[in-house]
């Protein structure tokens, strides 16, 4: 998964996609985010469950342990390593959902510059990506060490020509299960390993190369310029 995505709808659109009846603790605001070209270190709306409540906070995309000083903060975590490796051990129990509208990948098509593609759900509903992180809670306010990473898996079943990794995306039912603190960690691991949404749920379309400049924003960036890759 390349490091660019969109989160332009508002928090209540994402809550509706999750279909969670729990009361919302909203620290993310009520207005549309209008973030069409989010890069690593961007503050994005992140969901986690706090007791019986669903909580939304603005959290930095990217996290690293406090004891590592000499490398950039990763934005993704491979599911094959995240659950058992030392690097993400501290945040593996802190499950979250990052709801997005789409993400972007770049494909080498023989041109001087790679062609960017927008990947979205065919039904256009928000994409619910499994994440882990360090984020504010009732006991701990915002911290400079806060951040999150998106869980990724091997790319199989049709997206391999886009990228060899893809975010683990969950159905609303699985997303609620992932968020639930009562879900055992072993079951959560198996869920993201085996129950991600199928490739058939998505479409990918060419977009303008302007998406490559992190300073560019606006809805024109997500307008398709060609046919779907499949």
By annotation, the residues acting in catalysis are 2, 105
Going by C-alpha positions, the residue among 126, 125, 147, 121 that lies closest to residue 203 is 121
219 vs 1: CA distance, rounded Å: 22
Name the helix (H) or strand (E) containing 12.
Answer: helix 11-18
Cβ proximity of 162 and 117 under 8 Å: yes
Q: What 3-state DSSP class applies to 110?
A: coil
Strand partners, 128: 99
83 vs 46: CA distance, rounded Å: 20
74 vs 94: CA distance, rounded Å: 16
């Amino acid at each position: 998964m390349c490091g660019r995505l969109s989160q332009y709808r508002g928090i209540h659109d994402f809550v509706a996609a999750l279909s969670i009846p729990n009361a919302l603790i909203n620290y993310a605001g009520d207005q549309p985010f209008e973030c069409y070209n989010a890069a690593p270190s961007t503050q994005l709306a992140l969901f986690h469950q706090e007791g019986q409540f669903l909580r939304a906070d603005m959290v930095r995309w990217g996290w690293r342990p406090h004891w590592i000083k000499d490398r950039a903060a990763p934005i993704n975590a491979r599911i094959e390593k995240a659950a058992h490796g030392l690097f993400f051990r501290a945040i593996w129990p802190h499950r979250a959902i990052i709801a997005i509208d789409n993400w972007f990948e770049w494909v080498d098509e023989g041109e001087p510059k790679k062609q960017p593609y927008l990947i979205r759900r065919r039904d256009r509903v928000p994409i619910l990506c499994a994440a882990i992180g360090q984020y504010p809670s009732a006991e701990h306010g915002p911290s400079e060490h806060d951040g999150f990473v998106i869980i990724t898996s091997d790319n199989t079943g049709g997206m391999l020509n886009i990228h060899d990794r893809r975010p683990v995306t969950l159905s609303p039912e699985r997303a609620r299960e992932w968020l639930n603190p009562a879900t055992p960690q072993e079951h959560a691991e198996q869920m993201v390993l085996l129950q991600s949404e199928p490739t058939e749920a998505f479409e990918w379309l060419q977009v303008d190369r302007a998406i490559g400049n992190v300073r560019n924003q606006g809805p024109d960036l997500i307008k398709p310029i060609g046919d779907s890759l499949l």
